[in-house]
Amino acid sequence: MTVIVRDVRPENPADAEGFARVRRAAVPFMLATAESVRFDVARAHPDAHYRPLVAEEDGEIIGTAQMGIAYDSPEPGQGFANVYVHPERRGRGAGSLIVRTAEERLADLGARTVYSWVFDEPANRAFAEKRGYRPSRSAHFLRLDLAHGTLPALRPTPPDVELRTAAGFADDPRPLFELDAETVSDEPSDIASEFTDYEHWLNETWNHPLLNRELTTVAVVDGRPVAFTAARTDGGTRYATGMTGTARSYRGRGLAKLVKNDSLHRARAAGFREAFTGNDAENAPMLAVNKWFGYEIGATEVRHVRALG
């Protein structure tokens, strides 16, 4: 049996569904659909050179890679390659081949450094370290049982705060972009980014098929969005928080809890049964917020880095 690595053919329904199927099996804490796979390829910024790869064995997709260039980083030459193999298809050489292919392509694109998320498990860490990767930081996947868990009671909204949904900003989402840009710039990261391209944000984030604008809650003060939680859904019963953030001048007022609790309650009422989110391991304030909601750590990934060339 021979394993090959090739580009995803987004126009091919079997490729998009196969990619999403492997991602759901390998990373059950993240939402992935065939539609989102096609969208990510079609809407990626051209300077990112984003082109997902698949490892295929006898016509079956058994591994995936998301690779590209961090085009929005002020430091050039920063690449990324996140590789996942179907849990039932490991040990066939797919991981090694897809990592090598991704590294070669990134080097051809001028990348000098490659970052990769690796599950915090002995076999995965050994796999990365054998190939010259070293750990840099870690993050948790968290899961909340919406169907059977108990959410904190809804609290009164402060008199100067209004809760809206992202759908209410459809005519002019720029204020949400500005809030998103401010909060993302404060997120822990080992790759600095400059979040300034509104048109690309519209194309890649605002119009993403997984974004649920009705379940995305926004706190507004004096007509200005000051806190939000971005909800993603997969068309089934799974809900995920893509980002929760508060404007710097409004932090410490409990607004992150307020918007997230509102969105979670509405998601449960709409029939969603599981909620997922991600949390940097060093972000103690957000870890405390998620623990208050009842989220539990489901898995941990460690960001690894390797110099190319």
Average pLDDT rounded to a whole number, residues 26-46: 95
Which residues contact residue 130 at a Cβ distance below 8 angstroms, ignoring those fewer than 6 apart? Answer: none
The tally of domains found in the chain comes to: 2
Quick one: pLDDT at residue 257? Answer: 95
Does residue 15 sit within a domain?
A: yes
Query: Which residues are paired to 240 by β-bridges?
Result: 232, 276
Summarize pLDDT for 143-157 with one digit per residue, the tens: 999 999 999 999 999
Does residue 129 sit within a domain?
A: no
Distances (CA, A) of 24 to 21, 29, 160, 217: 5, 8, 41, 26
Average pLDDT rounded to a whole number, residues 287-291: 91
For residue 37, the SS3 value is: helix
Token pair belonging to 237:
């019963």
| 149 and 269 belong to one structural domain | yes
| 286 and 148 belong to one structural domain | yes
Q: For residue 107, what are the domain limits?
A: 3-111
Of the three residues 66, 94, 111, the one that is the final residue of a domain is 111
Which residues contact residue 14 at a Cβ distance below 8 angstroms, ignoring those fewer than 6 apart? Answer: none
Question: Which residue has better confidence, 288 or 66?
Answer: 66
| 277 and 184 belong to one structural domain | yes
Statement: residue 188 has pLDDT above 80: no
Statement: residue 94 has pLDDT above 70: yes
256-149-238-61 Cα dihedral, nearest 10 degrees: 110
Of the three residues 70, 88, 111, the one that is the final residue of a domain is 111
Quick one: pLDDT at residue 309? Answer: 74
CB 195 within 8 A of CB 70: no
Q: How far is it, in rounded angstroms, from Cα 128 to Cα 253?
A: 41
Does residue 122 sit within a domain?
A: no
Statement: residue 192 has pLDDT above 70: no
Quick one: pLDDT at residue 193? Answer: 57
Q: How confident is the model at residue 8 (pLDDT cuts 50, 70, 90)?
A: very high
Average pLDDT rounded to a whole number, residues 235-239: 95
| 290 and 174 belong to one structural domain | yes
Q: How far is it, in rounded angstroms, from Cα 289 to Cα 151?
A: 12
DSSP state of 71: T
| 263 and 172 belong to one structural domain | yes
Does residue 121 sit within a domain?
A: no
Quick one: pLDDT at residue 1? Answer: 66
Q: How far is it, in rounded angstroms, from Cα 153 to Cα 83?
A: 40
Query: Which residues are paired to 211 by β-bridges?
Result: 232
CA 250: distance to chain centroid?
A: 25
Summarize pLDDT for 259-278 with one digit per residue, the tens: 999 999 999 999 999 999 99
In a 13 Å sphere around the CA of 220, the CA atoms on its Cβ side amount to 15
Statement: residue 211 has pLDDT above 90: yes
| 150 and 237 belong to one structural domain | yes
User: Which residue in this structure is represented by tokens 């099996």?
Assistant: 25
Q: How far is it, in rounded angstroms, from Cα 287 to Cα 255?
A: 15
Statement: residue 88 has pLDDT above 80: yes
Q: How confident is the model at residue 190 (pLDDT cuts 50, 70, 90)?
A: low
Backbone dihedral angles phi then psi of residue 152, each to the nearest 5 degrees: -60, 145
- Chain mean pLDDT for the chain: 94
Q: How confident is the model at residue 187 (pLDDT cuts 50, 70, 90)?
A: low
Quick one: pLDDT at residue 180? Answer: 94
Statement: residue 67 has pLDDT above 90: yes
| 54 and 105 belong to one structural domain | yes
Does residue 307 sit within a domain?
A: no
Quick one: pLDDT at residue 68? Answer: 97
CATH number at residue 54: 3.40.630.30
Quick one: pLDDT at residue 195? Answer: 72
Statement: residue 109 has pLDDT above 70: yes
Does residue 127 sit within a domain?
A: no
Average pLDDT rounded to a whole number, residues 223-238: 96
